[in-house]
Amino acid sequence: MSNLKTLTDFDVIIRPLITEKSNIQKELYNKVSFVVRRDANKIQIKKAVENIFKVKVAKVNTVIVRGKMRRYGRFIGKRASYKKAVVTLQKGYNIDLLTTI
């Protein structure tokens, strides 16, 4: 494991997760989803989102999404596993991922 204290905010958050489900959560519940480092904790994720996007975070939920088995013709492969963070923003704050990034 690497020393997480030396990581920058951009090292913690890998990319935003833009799916149909995350768009619905953004509109209805003010939640935004990100793919983050596997060894990042909730406190580091909260600080990174607040510093990068200049918003206030109410809550952070994390889940490790396991990679699915997929067939590529006659070969069998596996997608990579990743850690997903669902960040709930406080009322009055918003992140527009399509224009911010």
Output the six-digit token pair for 49.
């989102």
Q: Please, what is the end-to-end C-alpha distance for the chain in angstroms?
A: 28
β-pairing, 82-89 with 75-78? Answer: unpaired
Q: Could you tell me which of 18, 15, 29 has the C-alpha nearest to residue 82?
A: 15
Q: Going residue by residue through the chain (101 aa), what tens digit of pLDDT does each one get? A: 555 567 899 999 999 999 999 999 999 999 999 999 999 999 999 999 999 999 999 999 999 999 999 998 999 999 999 999 999 999 999 998 777 65
* pLDDT in the model for residue 78: 94
CATH code of the region 4-92 = 3.30.70.330
The pTM of this model reads 0.86
pLDDT of residue 97: 78
Alpha-carbon gap, residue 95 to 32, rounded angstroms: 8
